[in-house]
Chain A
Amino acid sequence: MRKEQLVWFDFTTSLQWTRPAVGIVRAEQEICRWLLRKLENRLRLCVFDASTGQFQELDVREAWRVLEQGWRAPDAATAQATYPAAAPVSPAPSPPVGRARRIEKFLRKIARAALARMPSAYQPRTRSYLVAAHRILAYAYKEFVAVRAAGTPSPPQVNAATPDQASAGPAMGSRPASFRRGDVYITLGLDWDYGGKMEALYREKTVNGLRILNFAYDIIPVKFPHYFPSGKFDLFSVYFANMGWTADRIMCISECTARDLDAFLKRVGAPRPPMSVVRLGDALPATEASEPCAEIAALRAAPFLLTVSTIEIRKNHESLYKAYVELIESGFDVPMLVVVGMLGWHVDDFMHSLGNDPRVAGKIVVLNHVTDSELAFLYRNCLFTLYPSLYEGWGLPVAESLSYGKFCLASNAASIPEIAGDIIDYVEPWDVPQWAAKIRLYCSDADALGRREETIADRYEHTSWESTAEQMIAAIQSISIPPDEDSSGPP
């Protein structure tokens, strides 16, 4: 790569994110952190301003401030002993409660009601406007709170561990990102939520010769729209079709996603850029050794199984519920199932059953406000984990389970077998009798479970975020213009 060709990392999602990091945000931040270290002063940061359709350059120090929020200096000994490649993190801050949250909930309710009354043709676009408005308001509120707490705005602290990167960055303050021909741009964020971003990227590509590396997590909203709220199919079909035009290369998080995306682009007649698969880091954030809440701590008293994911129809908790009913009715003393996850969509009837079926009372418990440290506690103390998802672009909870050395009984759907191959055991997601049979097996046969855990310990290889970043750098190099092909003329 020529020295003057810069790598631009899009930091829009992380800059605007106001809640505890979810998978995509965590991936963006972890990869950004490592690229800042590895690419040194060749890396620039930018954010997309949807109001102007322009990219602004972001001060590196501002990015470090965001990256360090909720993070603290690594306790190297602890971190390396447990999860060698993970950047350590403090427990996620609790969501703000109080008047602002109540107002937000009230406004959400009004917005949902108003949307429901609109003609369906107008709903998707209105929804995207509302999402954008919500992000802007949330960001403004966060800044307002920060300024009020500090008294006056203060410049971000330069991270001591990265003085070179910080000082190598541009001066404080936003200014238009000056993309030059041959520069490489990377985006891993929630780009579908920023109206006009893909079109702006395409313009930068065709007008300024920017080389673009896009990232694809999954195309499930297009492939299986019925798993999602209405409007997602439209949003994502346009997003991925545009990605076909913008990308010089697409990094997919699994072979399954690469296959799905390529088939989609072929089907709709969009260009099909080269794709490669990058394996996401599975090292969990090292957390402070804080005590879990009493409710969670009490679970340690007896064996329990664990399943972690948003509670939505695609995650297929229903198969586990039915398998539990089958086991209980057969007289098997099945351990408690702990369901960890936020409540999603299309599960109202299922949640009603779960809450009112006397057969599973006391046998299935749902926890939806679990901190990272509590989740770690649950992983460490469970008997094994379950993951019955109907479709995934990857299947992070499977990798998390294995990184704790815990066996996972998983669905054989989509990308999930890519995570661990034959190390774990699989079940067809809707095959309830098989779920029941295998849960019975691993609950009652300690040797069988033990052999699985030994295999995991011997053969499962952790993926560090550093390794993920190195794969990204290889992809960057693959789309860089070789010096002898470069010219000073227009693209």
Chain B
Amino acid sequence: MKILQLATFPIVEPRHGGQLRTRHIYDEYRKAGIDVDFVGIFPQGAYSQHASSDLQLPGDLAGRVLREYEHPVYDYIWGTHIASLPVARDALLARIRQATYDFIQIDHICAWPLARECLSILRPGEAKPRIIYSAHNIEHEMRRQVLRELRAPSAAIEQYGDAVLALEREVATRATHAFAVSTVDRNFINSVGRRNDCVQAKNGTAYSTVPEIATEDWRPVLPRDPFAVFISSGHLPNAVGFSAALGDSLAFLPPDRKLVIAGGVTPVIERTEPYRRWAAINNSRTLRLGVVDDIGIAAMRRFAHVFVLPITAGGGSNIKTAEALLTGAHVLATPTAFRGFEEYIDEPAVHVEADPDRFRKKLVALLEGERAQLTEAEQAVRKRLLWESTLSPMISKLLSLEESSPNAQGTAGLV
């Protein structure tokens, strides 16, 4: 079986959730003996780290200027724009024709318009790969939420929401196999794709490969007293959740307890109006690190007292939840952050609070209490969060397919 994974980002040195999931799918496929290639399609200069096989395409939109509220749907606008560019089609077609792929796996919905164009160009008789829809999220819902947060005109919210939903419906309908990260997402894909075979493969995590000794250099950087950590990408819903769950003032934290904010979300939070309102108080209660390397992340996982997951918006499931659970430290989260990980809500050292006031009180109590200590049995439960476990339904599904029909191959007429 030969699969070509497509996404709108590279998977070299993955940082955000989409990259991580796609990279681990790639790795798990290879471990299972599946022949897989990956092509990231993204605007020139968008990512500093990428593979030579990735496609960097012009990032401009043929002179179109984005409105302020359109930034969260830039990938959709760009993805549909490049689908009409001969240079993009030719480049991807060349990759598709290089090998005889059984499947093209769509790991980001915005890669679909270009893939669809390429597949439509394939001549009759040419091997035509079938489609795997690897959904990471219910994209149209998330886009609507973000656009609403940005106070976009309701017509624009409707326009882009409907357009992304149309893509999701099309792929869900046309895919031979579909995978989703949560029960809610699976039900959505089954519904819009008029199918009942979508397989749930949860998000997961992996043990850090950074040796403990390397994290010692971070000890003096991190707060001396027990501290909480919020690590997240610059995805706008993450900052929205921060304000919603923690409020505009962090004065509820004692003077000697800090919240470490790391990742791309740091500058996004700093720029929000709620954070700026009491900036001095908030700065006095936080250590704001921005994007940190793997060693820094490993150090925070090792030394943090509490992992905070104040997610109140967005779809899919939160990879940071899995990462936090695997550390064995206290995890304080909103119910939304546990979407896809509901079975862990009653585990020890897991605290889920929907009410912002209770969320804050709980955070103070946890920071003033003892560090969590999991038993071996409890740690064993958390190992179910490793990617090799969470992605096994995908692998099983594909391998069973190969066993039942080892020469399954699409033709141009099927797509």
Contact = CB atoms under 8 A, between A and B. Distances in A.
Contacts, number: 45
Contacts of B255: 198-199, 202, 242, 245-246
B360 interface: yes
A269 B254 contact: no
B249 A269 contact: yes
A113 interface: no
Interface residues on B, range: 10 to 19
Given A234-B280, A237-B280, A270 B251 contact: yes
B284 interface: yes
Contact of A269 (B256, B279, B360): B360
B357 to A, nearest CB: 9
A202 B254 contact: yes
B281 interface: yes
Given A238-B280, A238-B281, A203 B249 contact: no
- Which of B252, B254, B360 has the most chain A CB atoms closer than 10 A to its own CB? B254
A238 B360 CA distance: 18
Interface in B242-273: 247, 249-252, 254-256
B246 to A, nearest CB: 9
B74 interface: no
B280 A199 contact: no
A185 B40 CA distance: 63
A409 to B, nearest CB: 38
A301 interface: no
Given A268-B278, A268-B281, A269-B360, A245 B249 contact: no
Interface in A199-253: 199, 202-203, 206, 233-235, 237-238, 241-242, 244-246
Given A199-B256, A202-B256, A203-B256, A268 B251 contact: yes
B279 A234 contact: yes
Nearest to A233: B280
Nearest to A124: B280
A2 B278 CA distance: 41
A459 interface: no
A267 B251 CA distance: 9
Interface in A256-283: 265, 267-270
A244 B256 contact: no
Given A199-B255, A199-B256, A202-B256, A267 B280 contact: no
B251 A244 contact: yes
A235 B280 CA distance: 7
A271 B321 CA distance: 30
Contact of B251 (A203, A206, A241, A246): A241
B286 to A, nearest CB: 12
Contacts of A269: 247, 249-252, 360
A242 B278 CA distance: 13
A267 B279 CA distance: 14
A268 B249 contact: yes
Interface of B: 247, 249-252, 254-256, 278-281, 284, 360
